[in-house]
Structure 1
Amino acid sequence: MASHEQPDPNPDAASTELVRPRRLPETPPPPIPDVDISNSDLASVEYSQHRTKLSTHRTGLSEHRTSLSEYRTDLSTHRTDLSTNRTEMSMRRTGMSFQRTRLSAERTLMSVIRTALSLIGFGFTIFQVFTKARDSGLLKIGTAAPSNFGLALVALGVLLLIVGIGYHVNFMRGLRAERNRMAHDGLVHAESAYPVSYTLLTALVLLMIGLYAIVSMAFDLAAG
Protein backbone atom coordinates (compact mmCIF):
# COMPACT_ATOMS: atom_id res chain seq x y z
CA MET A 1 0.00 0.00 0.00
CA ALA A 2 1.04 3.61 -0.45
CA SER A 3 2.77 5.15 2.54
CA HIS A 4 1.58 8.43 4.09
CA GLU A 5 4.23 11.12 4.61
CA GLN A 6 3.78 13.37 7.64
CA PRO A 7 4.54 17.14 7.36
CA ASP A 8 7.72 18.49 8.85
CA PRO A 9 6.98 19.31 12.52
CA ASN A 10 9.54 22.10 12.44
CA PRO A 11 7.85 25.29 11.11
CA ASP A 12 11.27 26.74 10.25
CA ALA A 13 12.19 23.80 8.03
CA ALA A 14 13.04 24.51 4.43
CA SER A 15 10.14 22.41 3.12
CA THR A 16 6.71 22.18 4.76
CA GLU A 17 4.83 20.90 1.73
CA LEU A 18 2.30 18.21 2.42
CA VAL A 19 2.55 15.11 0.19
CA ARG A 20 -0.69 13.43 -0.74
CA PRO A 21 -0.77 9.61 -0.68
CA ARG A 22 -0.42 8.05 -4.10
CA ARG A 23 -3.57 6.93 -5.84
CA LEU A 24 -4.52 3.36 -5.02
CA PRO A 25 -4.56 1.18 -8.14
CA GLU A 26 -7.99 -0.14 -8.97
CA THR A 27 -7.98 -3.81 -8.12
CA PRO A 28 -11.18 -5.82 -8.42
CA PRO A 29 -12.17 -8.02 -5.50
CA PRO A 30 -11.14 -11.68 -5.71
CA PRO A 31 -13.53 -13.67 -7.88
CA ILE A 32 -15.80 -16.21 -6.27
CA PRO A 33 -14.20 -19.62 -6.70
CA ASP A 34 -15.92 -22.36 -8.61
CA VAL A 35 -16.30 -24.94 -5.84
CA ASP A 36 -17.23 -28.56 -6.20
CA ILE A 37 -20.01 -28.78 -3.63
CA SER A 38 -19.87 -32.58 -3.77
CA ASN A 39 -16.64 -32.46 -1.78
CA SER A 40 -17.58 -30.54 1.34
CA ASP A 41 -14.12 -30.50 2.88
CA LEU A 42 -12.46 -29.09 -0.24
CA ALA A 43 -15.29 -26.56 -0.70
CA SER A 44 -14.91 -25.37 2.89
CA VAL A 45 -11.17 -24.83 2.41
CA GLU A 46 -11.65 -22.91 -0.85
CA TYR A 47 -14.37 -20.73 0.65
CA SER A 48 -12.12 -20.01 3.65
CA GLN A 49 -9.27 -18.98 1.36
CA HIS A 50 -11.68 -16.75 -0.58
CA ARG A 51 -12.82 -15.05 2.64
CA THR A 52 -9.16 -14.49 3.57
CA LYS A 53 -8.51 -12.82 0.19
CA LEU A 54 -11.59 -10.62 0.63
CA SER A 55 -10.44 -9.62 4.12
CA THR A 56 -6.97 -8.75 2.78
CA HIS A 57 -8.56 -6.67 0.02
CA ARG A 58 -10.74 -4.82 2.54
CA THR A 59 -7.74 -4.25 4.80
CA GLY A 60 -5.83 -2.63 1.93
CA LEU A 61 -8.76 -0.34 1.16
CA SER A 62 -9.13 0.53 4.85
CA GLU A 63 -5.43 1.40 5.15
CA HIS A 64 -5.66 3.65 2.10
CA ARG A 65 -8.74 5.38 3.54
CA THR A 66 -6.86 5.87 6.80
CA SER A 67 -3.92 7.42 4.93
CA LEU A 68 -6.28 9.79 3.09
CA SER A 69 -7.99 10.70 6.36
CA GLU A 70 -4.65 11.44 8.01
CA TYR A 71 -3.63 13.53 5.01
CA ARG A 72 -6.87 15.52 5.21
CA THR A 73 -6.31 16.03 8.94
CA ASP A 74 -2.75 17.24 8.37
CA LEU A 75 -3.93 19.49 5.56
CA SER A 76 -6.62 20.97 7.79
CA THR A 77 -4.04 21.54 10.54
CA HIS A 78 -1.72 23.20 8.05
CA ARG A 79 -4.51 25.50 6.85
CA THR A 80 -5.35 26.33 10.47
CA ASP A 81 -1.72 27.23 11.16
CA LEU A 82 -1.61 29.46 8.09
CA SER A 83 -4.84 31.14 9.14
CA THR A 84 -3.46 31.68 12.64
CA ASN A 85 -0.28 33.22 11.22
CA ARG A 86 -2.32 35.53 8.97
CA THR A 87 -4.45 36.57 11.93
CA GLU A 88 -1.32 37.22 14.00
CA MET A 89 0.21 39.36 11.25
CA SER A 90 -3.05 41.25 10.81
CA MET A 91 -3.20 42.01 14.54
CA ARG A 92 0.37 43.28 14.51
CA ARG A 93 -0.28 45.42 11.43
CA THR A 94 -3.32 46.90 13.14
CA GLY A 95 -1.22 47.68 16.22
CA MET A 96 1.40 49.39 14.07
CA SER A 97 -1.37 51.34 12.34
CA PHE A 98 -2.36 52.81 15.71
CA GLN A 99 1.25 53.86 16.26
CA ARG A 100 1.43 55.45 12.79
CA THR A 101 -1.82 57.30 13.46
CA ARG A 102 -0.43 58.56 16.76
CA LEU A 103 2.73 59.81 15.04
CA SER A 104 0.60 61.52 12.39
CA ALA A 105 -1.28 63.35 15.15
CA GLU A 106 2.08 64.36 16.65
CA ARG A 107 3.20 65.77 13.30
CA THR A 108 -0.06 67.68 12.97
CA LEU A 109 0.46 69.24 16.39
CA MET A 110 4.04 70.12 15.41
CA SER A 111 2.67 71.99 12.39
CA VAL A 112 0.32 73.90 14.68
CA ILE A 113 3.25 74.74 16.96
CA ARG A 114 5.31 76.05 14.04
CA THR A 115 2.47 78.24 12.81
CA ALA A 116 1.64 79.55 16.30
CA LEU A 117 5.32 80.22 17.01
CA SER A 118 5.60 82.24 13.79
CA LEU A 119 2.52 84.30 14.67
CA ILE A 120 3.66 84.92 18.24
CA GLY A 121 7.20 85.77 17.16
CA PHE A 122 6.13 88.15 14.38
CA GLY A 123 3.49 89.78 16.56
CA PHE A 124 5.83 90.32 19.49
CA THR A 125 8.56 91.66 17.19
CA ILE A 126 6.19 94.12 15.49
CA PHE A 127 4.90 95.28 18.87
CA GLN A 128 8.39 95.82 20.30
CA VAL A 129 9.69 97.63 17.19
CA PHE A 130 6.89 100.16 17.12
CA THR A 131 6.88 100.55 20.91
CA LYS A 132 10.64 101.30 21.00
CA ALA A 133 10.30 103.66 18.05
CA ARG A 134 7.50 105.49 19.85
CA ASP A 135 9.39 105.74 23.10
CA SER A 136 12.58 106.99 21.41
CA GLY A 137 10.70 109.58 19.37
CA LEU A 138 11.71 108.15 15.98
CA LEU A 139 8.07 107.99 14.91
CA LYS A 140 5.95 111.08 15.32
CA ILE A 141 2.75 109.40 14.14
CA GLY A 142 0.45 107.37 16.36
CA THR A 143 1.63 103.81 16.93
CA ALA A 144 -1.51 102.34 18.45
CA ALA A 145 -2.60 100.57 15.26
CA PRO A 146 0.73 98.74 14.60
CA SER A 147 0.98 97.81 18.28
CA ASN A 148 -2.55 96.50 18.26
CA PHE A 149 -1.75 94.54 15.10
CA GLY A 150 1.23 92.92 16.82
CA LEU A 151 -0.92 92.09 19.84
CA ALA A 152 -3.57 90.60 17.56
CA LEU A 153 -0.98 88.34 15.90
CA VAL A 154 0.18 87.05 19.29
CA ALA A 155 -3.42 86.50 20.38
CA LEU A 156 -4.12 84.62 17.15
CA GLY A 157 -1.09 82.40 17.72
CA VAL A 158 -2.24 81.65 21.27
CA LEU A 159 -5.76 80.88 20.08
CA LEU A 160 -4.39 78.57 17.41
CA LEU A 161 -2.36 76.75 20.06
CA ILE A 162 -5.39 76.33 22.31
CA VAL A 163 -7.48 74.88 19.48
CA GLY A 164 -4.63 72.62 18.32
CA ILE A 165 -3.94 71.31 21.83
CA GLY A 166 -7.64 70.67 22.46
CA TYR A 167 -8.03 68.81 19.17
CA HIS A 168 -4.89 66.77 19.79
CA VAL A 169 -5.93 65.74 23.31
CA ASN A 170 -9.45 64.83 22.21
CA PHE A 171 -8.16 62.83 19.23
CA MET A 172 -5.60 60.94 21.31
CA ARG A 173 -8.20 60.07 23.95
CA GLY A 174 -10.45 58.62 21.26
CA LEU A 175 -7.54 56.72 19.70
CA ARG A 176 -6.52 55.23 23.05
CA ALA A 177 -10.11 54.23 23.81
CA GLU A 178 -10.46 52.51 20.42
CA ARG A 179 -7.13 50.72 20.89
CA ASN A 180 -8.11 49.52 24.36
CA ARG A 181 -11.47 48.31 23.07
CA MET A 182 -9.86 46.33 20.26
CA ALA A 183 -7.28 44.91 22.68
CA HIS A 184 -10.10 43.80 24.99
CA ASP A 185 -11.83 42.08 22.05
CA GLY A 186 -8.58 40.35 21.07
CA LEU A 187 -8.29 42.15 17.73
CA VAL A 188 -4.93 43.79 18.43
CA HIS A 189 -2.00 42.99 20.70
CA ALA A 190 -1.52 46.49 22.13
CA GLU A 191 1.89 45.47 23.47
CA SER A 192 3.67 48.74 22.64
CA ALA A 193 2.80 51.51 25.08
CA TYR A 194 2.09 55.10 24.12
CA PRO A 195 5.06 57.24 25.25
CA VAL A 196 4.75 60.68 26.75
CA SER A 197 3.98 63.25 24.07
CA TYR A 198 6.86 65.70 24.18
CA THR A 199 5.21 67.60 21.36
CA LEU A 200 2.19 68.23 23.58
CA LEU A 201 4.46 69.36 26.43
CA THR A 202 6.23 71.75 24.06
CA ALA A 203 2.88 73.12 22.91
CA LEU A 204 1.82 73.73 26.53
CA VAL A 205 5.09 75.53 27.30
CA LEU A 206 4.68 77.69 24.19
CA LEU A 207 1.10 78.44 25.24
CA MET A 208 2.33 79.70 28.61
CA ILE A 209 4.91 81.88 26.86
CA GLY A 210 2.27 83.26 24.51
CA LEU A 211 -0.08 84.09 27.39
CA TYR A 212 2.76 85.81 29.22
CA ALA A 213 3.57 87.79 26.06
CA ILE A 214 -0.07 88.92 25.73
CA VAL A 215 -0.21 90.04 29.36
CA SER A 216 3.07 91.98 29.13
CA MET A 217 2.02 93.61 25.84
CA ALA A 218 -1.35 94.60 27.27
CA PHE A 219 0.31 96.21 30.26
CA ASP A 220 2.72 98.09 27.99
CA LEU A 221 -0.18 99.44 25.97
CA ALA A 222 -2.00 100.49 29.11
CA ALA A 223 1.14 102.17 30.44
CA GLY A 224 1.77 103.90 27.15
Structure 2
Amino acid sequence: MSADQDKAAVVHPRPDRVEVQPVPPIPDVTGQASDVASTNYSAYRTGLSNHRTGLSEHRTSLSEYRTDLSSHRTNLSTDRTEMSMRRTGMSFQRTRMSTDRTLMSIVRTSLSLIGFGFTIFQFFGKMVKTPGFELGANAPRNFGIALVALGMVLLTLGLWHHVVYMRVLRAERKSMVQAGLIHGESPYPVSPTLITAALLWLIGLFAVVSMTFNVAPFS
Protein backbone atom coordinates (compact mmCIF):
# COMPACT_ATOMS: atom_id res chain seq x y z
CA MET A 1 0.00 0.00 0.00
CA SER A 2 1.36 3.45 -0.90
CA ALA A 3 1.90 6.34 1.48
CA ASP A 4 -1.17 8.15 0.14
CA GLN A 5 -3.29 5.07 0.73
CA ASP A 6 -1.87 4.69 4.26
CA LYS A 7 -2.72 8.30 4.97
CA ALA A 8 -6.20 7.93 3.49
CA ALA A 9 -6.82 4.78 5.51
CA VAL A 10 -6.27 6.61 8.85
CA VAL A 11 -9.52 7.71 10.44
CA HIS A 12 -9.29 9.99 13.46
CA PRO A 13 -11.08 8.71 16.56
CA ARG A 14 -14.54 9.96 17.27
CA PRO A 15 -14.52 13.01 19.57
CA ASP A 16 -15.56 12.34 23.16
CA ARG A 17 -19.11 13.14 24.04
CA VAL A 18 -19.43 16.58 25.61
CA GLU A 19 -21.17 16.71 28.93
CA VAL A 20 -24.25 18.88 28.93
CA GLN A 21 -23.32 22.23 30.41
CA PRO A 22 -26.09 24.38 31.84
CA VAL A 23 -26.59 27.78 30.33
CA PRO A 24 -25.40 30.49 32.72
CA PRO A 25 -28.39 31.98 34.54
CA ILE A 26 -29.49 35.51 33.83
CA PRO A 27 -28.21 37.70 36.66
CA ASP A 28 -30.72 39.55 38.85
CA VAL A 29 -29.71 43.19 38.82
CA THR A 30 -32.72 44.53 40.64
CA GLY A 31 -31.68 47.36 42.92
CA GLN A 32 -28.07 47.28 41.76
CA ALA A 33 -26.13 50.27 40.59
CA SER A 34 -25.81 50.72 36.87
CA ASP A 35 -22.07 50.02 36.80
CA VAL A 36 -22.48 46.85 38.88
CA ALA A 37 -25.42 45.72 36.73
CA SER A 38 -23.37 46.39 33.62
CA THR A 39 -20.49 44.32 35.03
CA ASN A 40 -22.84 41.46 35.89
CA TYR A 41 -24.41 41.51 32.40
CA SER A 42 -20.95 41.61 30.84
CA ALA A 43 -19.91 38.55 32.85
CA TYR A 44 -23.15 36.84 31.82
CA ARG A 45 -22.50 37.54 28.13
CA THR A 46 -18.93 36.28 28.51
CA GLY A 47 -20.24 33.02 30.01
CA LEU A 48 -22.72 32.62 27.13
CA SER A 49 -19.95 33.30 24.63
CA ASN A 50 -17.71 30.67 26.25
CA HIS A 51 -20.59 28.21 26.22
CA ARG A 52 -21.23 28.82 22.54
CA THR A 53 -17.48 28.55 21.78
CA GLY A 54 -17.32 25.12 23.46
CA LEU A 55 -20.31 23.92 21.47
CA SER A 56 -18.81 25.33 18.27
CA GLU A 57 -15.49 23.55 18.88
CA HIS A 58 -17.30 20.28 19.46
CA ARG A 59 -19.31 20.71 16.29
CA THR A 60 -16.07 21.44 14.41
CA SER A 61 -14.51 18.24 15.78
CA LEU A 62 -17.57 16.24 14.77
CA SER A 63 -17.48 17.82 11.31
CA GLU A 64 -13.81 16.91 10.88
CA TYR A 65 -14.58 13.36 12.02
CA ARG A 66 -17.41 13.08 9.51
CA THR A 67 -15.14 14.47 6.80
CA ASP A 68 -12.52 11.82 7.59
CA LEU A 69 -15.16 9.11 7.46
CA SER A 70 -16.44 10.43 4.16
CA SER A 71 -12.92 10.48 2.70
CA HIS A 72 -12.31 6.97 3.97
CA ARG A 73 -15.54 5.72 2.42
CA THR A 74 -14.64 7.45 -0.85
CA ASN A 75 -11.24 5.73 -0.89
CA LEU A 76 -12.85 2.38 -0.17
CA SER A 77 -15.35 2.98 -2.96
CA THR A 78 -12.51 3.84 -5.34
CA ASP A 79 -10.68 0.65 -4.39
CA ARG A 80 -13.81 -1.42 -4.92
CA THR A 81 -14.34 0.19 -8.31
CA GLU A 82 -10.73 -0.57 -9.25
CA MET A 83 -11.10 -4.20 -8.18
CA SER A 84 -14.40 -4.48 -10.07
CA MET A 85 -12.74 -3.14 -13.23
CA ARG A 86 -9.94 -5.67 -12.93
CA ARG A 87 -12.35 -8.54 -12.27
CA THR A 88 -14.37 -7.55 -15.32
CA GLY A 89 -11.19 -7.41 -17.40
CA MET A 90 -10.18 -10.87 -16.20
CA SER A 91 -13.67 -12.18 -16.98
CA PHE A 92 -12.96 -11.43 -20.65
CA GLN A 93 -9.84 -13.59 -20.41
CA ARG A 94 -11.83 -16.39 -18.76
CA THR A 95 -14.45 -16.16 -21.49
CA ARG A 96 -11.72 -16.33 -24.15
CA MET A 97 -10.21 -19.44 -22.54
CA SER A 98 -13.66 -21.00 -22.27
CA THR A 99 -14.19 -20.39 -25.99
CA ASP A 100 -10.81 -22.00 -26.68
CA ARG A 101 -11.85 -25.05 -24.67
CA THR A 102 -15.05 -25.31 -26.68
CA LEU A 103 -13.08 -25.16 -29.92
CA MET A 104 -10.65 -27.77 -28.57
CA SER A 105 -13.51 -30.18 -27.94
CA ILE A 106 -14.71 -29.64 -31.52
CA VAL A 107 -11.16 -30.23 -32.79
CA ARG A 108 -10.96 -33.50 -30.85
CA THR A 109 -14.25 -34.72 -32.29
CA SER A 110 -13.32 -33.66 -35.82
CA LEU A 111 -9.89 -35.27 -35.52
CA SER A 112 -11.53 -38.51 -34.42
CA LEU A 113 -13.90 -38.47 -37.40
CA ILE A 114 -11.17 -37.60 -39.90
CA GLY A 115 -8.72 -40.13 -38.49
CA PHE A 116 -11.34 -42.87 -38.26
CA GLY A 117 -12.57 -42.21 -41.80
CA PHE A 118 -9.04 -42.31 -43.24
CA THR A 119 -8.26 -45.48 -41.28
CA ILE A 120 -11.35 -47.20 -42.67
CA PHE A 121 -10.35 -46.14 -46.18
CA GLN A 122 -6.82 -47.50 -45.81
CA PHE A 123 -7.63 -50.69 -43.94
CA PHE A 124 -10.70 -51.87 -45.80
CA GLY A 125 -9.29 -50.58 -49.09
CA LYS A 126 -6.61 -53.25 -48.77
CA MET A 127 -9.03 -55.84 -47.44
CA VAL A 128 -11.25 -55.67 -50.54
CA LYS A 129 -8.30 -56.97 -52.54
CA THR A 130 -8.16 -60.08 -50.40
CA PRO A 131 -9.70 -63.12 -52.17
CA GLY A 132 -13.00 -64.13 -50.65
CA PHE A 133 -13.61 -60.77 -48.91
CA GLU A 134 -17.11 -59.70 -49.89
CA LEU A 135 -17.28 -55.91 -49.90
CA GLY A 136 -17.84 -53.36 -52.65
CA ALA A 137 -14.67 -51.94 -54.13
CA ASN A 138 -15.75 -48.34 -53.48
CA ALA A 139 -17.46 -48.92 -50.13
CA PRO A 140 -14.40 -48.22 -47.94
CA ARG A 141 -13.58 -45.09 -49.90
CA ASN A 142 -17.13 -43.75 -49.81
CA PHE A 143 -17.58 -44.42 -46.10
CA GLY A 144 -14.16 -42.98 -45.28
CA ILE A 145 -14.85 -39.85 -47.33
CA ALA A 146 -18.22 -39.46 -45.60
CA LEU A 147 -16.60 -39.56 -42.14
CA VAL A 148 -13.81 -37.18 -43.14
CA ALA A 149 -16.31 -34.79 -44.72
CA LEU A 150 -18.47 -34.93 -41.58
CA GLY A 151 -15.44 -34.07 -39.48
CA MET A 152 -14.64 -31.15 -41.77
CA VAL A 153 -18.24 -29.86 -41.64
CA LEU A 154 -18.16 -29.98 -37.83
CA LEU A 155 -14.77 -28.26 -37.80
CA THR A 156 -15.99 -25.59 -40.24
CA LEU A 157 -18.97 -24.77 -38.03
CA GLY A 158 -16.72 -24.67 -34.96
CA LEU A 159 -14.25 -22.33 -36.68
CA TRP A 160 -17.03 -20.04 -37.88
CA HIS A 161 -18.63 -19.85 -34.46
CA HIS A 162 -15.26 -19.22 -32.78
CA VAL A 163 -14.22 -16.44 -35.16
CA VAL A 164 -17.58 -14.65 -35.00
CA TYR A 165 -17.80 -14.88 -31.21
CA MET A 166 -14.21 -13.74 -30.68
CA ARG A 167 -14.69 -10.74 -32.97
CA VAL A 168 -17.71 -9.65 -30.95
CA LEU A 169 -15.84 -10.25 -27.69
CA ARG A 170 -12.80 -8.29 -28.83
CA ALA A 171 -14.95 -5.37 -30.00
CA GLU A 172 -16.82 -5.29 -26.69
CA ARG A 173 -13.57 -5.41 -24.72
CA LYS A 174 -12.05 -2.63 -26.83
CA SER A 175 -15.07 -0.36 -26.36
CA MET A 176 -15.06 -0.93 -22.58
CA VAL A 177 -11.33 -0.20 -22.38
CA GLN A 178 -11.76 3.03 -24.35
CA ALA A 179 -14.65 4.03 -22.07
CA GLY A 180 -12.44 3.45 -19.01
CA LEU A 181 -14.74 0.76 -17.61
CA ILE A 182 -12.12 -2.00 -17.49
CA HIS A 183 -8.36 -2.39 -17.64
CA GLY A 184 -6.85 -3.69 -20.87
CA GLU A 185 -3.30 -4.32 -19.66
CA SER A 186 -3.28 -8.10 -20.17
CA PRO A 187 -2.56 -9.34 -23.71
CA TYR A 188 -5.33 -10.74 -25.88
CA PRO A 189 -3.49 -12.81 -28.51
CA VAL A 190 -4.86 -14.93 -31.32
CA SER A 191 -5.81 -18.38 -30.08
CA PRO A 192 -3.33 -21.14 -30.97
CA THR A 193 -6.29 -23.52 -30.92
CA LEU A 194 -7.76 -21.57 -33.82
CA ILE A 195 -4.53 -21.97 -35.82
CA THR A 196 -4.43 -25.69 -35.04
CA ALA A 197 -8.05 -26.10 -36.10
CA ALA A 198 -7.39 -24.30 -39.39
CA LEU A 199 -4.40 -26.58 -40.10
CA LEU A 200 -6.51 -29.64 -39.27
CA TRP A 201 -9.15 -28.43 -41.72
CA LEU A 202 -6.49 -28.24 -44.46
CA ILE A 203 -5.31 -31.75 -43.62
CA GLY A 204 -8.89 -32.99 -43.88
CA LEU A 205 -9.26 -31.28 -47.24
CA PHE A 206 -6.08 -32.93 -48.55
CA ALA A 207 -7.33 -36.27 -47.22
CA VAL A 208 -10.67 -35.94 -49.05
CA VAL A 209 -8.95 -34.96 -52.31
CA SER A 210 -6.44 -37.79 -51.96
CA MET A 211 -9.12 -40.37 -51.17
CA THR A 212 -11.41 -39.21 -53.95
CA PHE A 213 -8.88 -39.00 -56.77
CA ASN A 214 -6.30 -41.44 -55.38
CA VAL A 215 -3.47 -38.89 -55.46
CA ALA A 216 -0.73 -37.79 -53.10
CA PRO A 217 -0.10 -37.03 -50.32
CA PHE A 218 -2.42 -39.60 -48.70
CA SER A 219 -2.96 -42.09 -51.51
Same fold per superposition (TM over 0.5): yes
Distance 1:201 1:138 in 2: 45
Distance 2:132 2:204 in 1: 28
Aligned length, in residue pairs: 212
**Do the aligned partners of 1:130 and 1:143 also contact (CA within 8 Å) in 2?**
no
Which residue of the other structure, out of 198, 202, 214, is the alignment partner of 1:208?
202
Where in structure 2 are the equivalents of 1:68-79 lying within 5 Å? 68-79=62-73
Q: Give the equivalent residue in structure 1 for 2:176.
A: 182
* 1:131 to partner: Cα distance: 2.0
Give aligned-pair identity as a percent. Answer: 63
Q: Give the equivalent residue in structure 2 for 1:43.
A: 37
Where in structure 2 are the equivalents of 1:58-137 lying within 5 Å? 58-135=52-129
Say whether residues 1:57 and 2:51 are aligned partners: yes
Aligned Cα root-mean-square deviation (Å): 2.1
Distance 1:196 1:174 in 2: 14
Q: The residue matched to 1:112 in structure 2 has which SS?
A: helix
The one-letter amino acid paired with 1:119 is L
Q: The residue matched to 1:194 in structure 2 has which SS?
A: coil
Q: Could you list the per-position Cα deviations for residues 179-205 of structure 1 after superposition, in whole angstroms to 9, with x for gaps in the alignment?
A: 122223322112212022111010011
* 1:136 to partner: Cα distance: 6.1
Distance 1:172 1:95 in 2: 15
Q: Give the equivalent residue in structure 1 for 2:142.
A: 148
Return 132-141 or 143-152, whichever deviates more: 132-141
Q: Give the equivalent residue in structure 1 for 2:186.
A: 192
Distance 1:101 1:12 in 2: 35
How high is the TM-score relative to the length of structure 2? Answer: 0.89
Distance 1:194 1:119 in 2: 31
Q: Give the equivalent residue in structure 2 for 1:3.
A: none
Which residue of the other structure, out of 151, 157, 173, is the alignment partner of 2:151?
157
Distance 2:151 2:185 in 1: 38
The one-letter amino acid paired with 1:204 is A
* 1:60 to partner: Cα distance: 0.4
Q: The residue matched to 2:214 in structure 1 has which SS?
A: helix
Distance 1:162 1:73 in 2: 62
